[in-house]
A and B are shown apart, each in its own frame.
Chain A
Amino acid sequence: MNLLFTFFLSQSILLPILIAFLRLRKNFDLQFLPFIILLGIAFISEISSFLLVDIYHKSNAISTNIYSLLECLILLYQFYLWGSVKHKKKLFICLALLASGVWVTDHLIYQHLFSFRPYFRIFYAFIIVLLSINTINAMIVQYKGNLFRNTRFLLSMGFIIFFIYQIIYEASFYIGYDKSLIAGKIILFFGYLNFFVNVIFAAAVYFIPSRET
């Protein structure tokens, strides 16, 4: 699988963005705005990564590292808005501070901003998976409607799939794709998984309720 093909797979992020753009004309529920913003940032990150690697032949570590921090903070805020850590403002602040602390320590204090480091990405992926599980379980028990048409449920499902794979992906990257055949395959498969999750996100964005409802 070459770089261009991976890039095209990653551009499936345009699916939810396009749907979000069409939905923006109507009044959609603002509690999903952080996720929509995150989609835009993810798109910019993908483009910049492609430009850095394919055009300028440089490492995309810096864009990936900055994107990771933004993704983590935005998703934490998204869960805060959804109520998973609402009424627990202190927990939200603690998680945000802790994540920022880990990022600053790893990338700035130990000066790894220009290299790939798995620790922060594994750390926040783990937190997001736990928050997603909590959201899904709460909805399974409390929600009366069709869960598969519920944006929050679909997004949480997508997060669980994506971030569990991210943990495994980062571990494979840490081992080295050239050191282990399995690790290499896991890294290559990430593109397909990314595509699949983007389709789930597209469905989730499609089901975002309007502000009136």
Chain B
Amino acid sequence: MEDKILHTVLFISLLIAVIIAFFIISIIRYHRRYISLQRERIRAEIMMQESERKRIANDLHDSLGPLLSAVKLNIQSIDIQESEDSRIIHKAGQHIDEIIKSLREISYNLMPNTLNRKGLTDAIEEYLYRCSSVHGLKIKFQAPGLEKVTVENEVHLFRIIQETVHNAVKHAKATFLQIYTVEKSEELVLYIKDNGIGFDLEEVQKSSAGLGLKSMESRCELIGASCKIQTSKNKGCEIIIKIPVN
């Protein structure tokens, strides 16, 4: 009788163990499927956003820009006798110049032409040059190996750098920024360091203020990169991004 009880208990325990194992495997499987679906959704959203930005940037640059230049030319070709009228025309020309400059700026911020024409390194260099001249930020940039980043991922990496520079200037009040890469066999490690006021990472991640960080993390996830942020108050910030290149 004892043997019968033992065998029955063993058999039932085995069945229950299989049920538990099935439960765990099944939930892992569904969770992975869910994560992959989420990733696909984020990818689609970001890609749509990028293509829309590109379209608007092109429209601004190629359609409105020349049109405004033509307007300026036409205005300047008017034969004016009065000196007051001439001053007004001159002022209008200056305003049109400002509009064209602003349009180019907006167009550049939406999608830099250099990224499409000359590639990631040149686009970053151009962007950093603009930032340092506008905000007086001292930037050291040395990034060999960026050419290994695939064309599809270039825009995401550019946006990540754009976000970090924006954060360093706007929130961290940094005066010095260092961007460099280290090439490894399977990955390219991008380091971005600033000497700003730093922040409480946990606090920012919990609050809605961390939207830029979230977008950066989403883009990293999209290109299969890992993103690590090391910061604390008054100790600057260091971002380490490991990008798979092979």
Contact = CB atoms under 8 A, between A and B. Distances in A.
B12 interface: yes
Contact of B19 (A130, A141, A179): A130
A137 B23 contact: yes
A109 B4 CA distance: 25
A129 B22 CA distance: 10
Given A164-B19, A175-B4, 19 more contacts: A126-B18, A130-B19, A133-B19, A134-B26, A137-B26, A137-B30, A141-B27, A141-B30, A142-B34, A164-B16, A167-B12, A167-B16, A171-B8, A171-B9, A171-B11, A174-B8, A175-B5, A179-B5, A180-B5
Contact of A133 (B4, B5, B26): B26
Contact of A142 (B1, B8, B30): B30
Given A175-B4, A175-B8, A180-B5, A140 B19 contact: no
Interface of A: 122, 126, 129-130, 133-134, 137-138, 140-142, 164, 167-168, 171, 174-175, 179-180
A137 B33 CA distance: 12
9 contacts: A126-B15, A126-B18, A129-B19, A134-B22, A137-B27, A141-B30, A164-B16, A167-B15, A180-B5
A140 B11 contact: no
Nearest to A170: B12
Given A126-B19, A175-B4, A140 B27 contact: yes
Interface string B1-44: 10011001101100110110011001101110110000000000
Given A122-B15, A171-B12, A133 B1 contact: no
Interface of B: 1, 4-5, 8-9, 11-12, 15-16, 18-19, 22-23, 26-27, 29-31, 33-34
A130 B4 CA distance: 26
B30 A140 contact: yes
A184 B139 CA distance: 80
A142 B26 CA distance: 13
Nearest to A182: B5
A167 to B, nearest CB: 6
Nearest to A133: B23
Chain A to chain B: the 6 pairs with minimum beta-carbon distance, closest first? A141-B30, A137-B26, A141-B34, A137-B27, A171-B12, A171-B8
A145 to B, nearest CB: 16
A184 to B, nearest CB: 13
Contacts of A137: 23, 26-27, 29-30
A171 B7 CA distance: 10
A168 B12 contact: yes
Contacts of B19: 126, 129-130, 133, 164
A140 B12 CA distance: 27
A133 B5 CA distance: 28
Nearest to A180: B5
Contacts of B33: 141
Nearest to B33: A141
Contacts of B5: 175, 179-180
Contact of B1 (A126, A129, A140, A179): A179
A138 B30 contact: yes
Nearest to B11: A171
Contacts of B16: 164, 167
Contacts of A138: 30
Contacts of B26: 133-134, 137
Contacts of A126: 15, 18-19
